[in-house]
Amino acid sequence: MTIQTGERIPDMPLTIATSEGPKPTTTGDYFGGRRVALFAVPGAYTPTCSAKHLPSYVEKAGDLRAKGVDEIACTSVNDAFVMAAWNKDQGSQDITMIADGNGQLAEALGLTMDGSNFGMGAVRSQRYSMIVNDGVVEQLNVEAPGEYRASSAETLLEQL
């Protein structure tokens, strides 16, 4: 079942991709006490994710912070090393990368998709964005399959 606005992010382990290597934390620690703009992509280095989705958040990071967002995070069903390399390649120092290598976060949120038709594996994250305020989903935008609009930084900014 897909997480809904007003529901708390399930407590579970997370891995933050950093330039120093994987940094373990939990959803409770990461999302607790702050307002986070979280967006998810089906895969690092994929065309729409690299050309549009991540760049929209890099470009609008200052605007999101001006609207009360404390942190901007991207998650994908990729390992921490891939997420850190993608972050470095995209020039996105303002974005925290959350590696969901086994798809556990996507599954816990009920936001998985089957990417096997694209050679990406059976468990991938759907494309979405959300505002998480002290661990509770305040806003949720899930894309229709093959679309990119609802989860953009521009759309999230309009909603804030």
Q: What is the pLDDT of residues 72-124, one digit of tens each?
A: 999 999 999 999 999 999 878 899 999 999 999 999 999 986 556 665 666 77
- Give the 3-state secondary structure of residue 156: helix
Q: What is the pLDDT of residue 116?
A: 61
Residue in the block written with tokens 């997480």: 3
Q: What is the largest CA-CA distance in the chain?
A: 40
2 within a domain of the structure (yes/no):
no
Tell me, yes or no, if 74 is annotated catalytic. Answer: no
55 within a domain of the structure (yes/no):
yes
CATH for 83: 3.40.30.10
93 within a domain of the structure (yes/no):
yes
Give me the chain's average pLDDT, please. 91
Q: Of residues 50 and 64, which shows the higher confidence score?
A: 64
85 within a domain of the structure (yes/no):
yes
34 within a domain of the structure (yes/no):
yes
pLDDT tier for residue 139 given thresholds of 50, 70 and 90:
very high
86 within a domain of the structure (yes/no):
yes
6 within a domain of the structure (yes/no):
no
8 within a domain of the structure (yes/no):
no
Order of strands across the sheet with 128-133? 21-26, 13-18, 95-99, 71-76, 35-40, 128-133, 136-142
Which residue range(s) make up the domain with 142? 13-159
The span from the CA of 138 to the CA of 135, in Å, is 9
- Choose, from 16, 44, 49, 153, the residue flagged as catalytic: 49
At 5-47, the pLDDT tens digits run 999 999 999 999 998 999 999 999 999 999 999 999 988 888 7
Strands 95-99 vs 112-113: parallel, antiparallel or unpaired: unpaired
The span from the CA of 47 to the CA of 50, in Å, is 5
Residue 8 is which amino acid?
R
Name the domain count of the chain: 1
Q: What is the DSSP string of 22-83?
A: EEEEEHHHHHTTSEEEEEE-S-TT-HHIIIIIHHHHHHHHHHHHHTT--EEEEEESS-HHHH
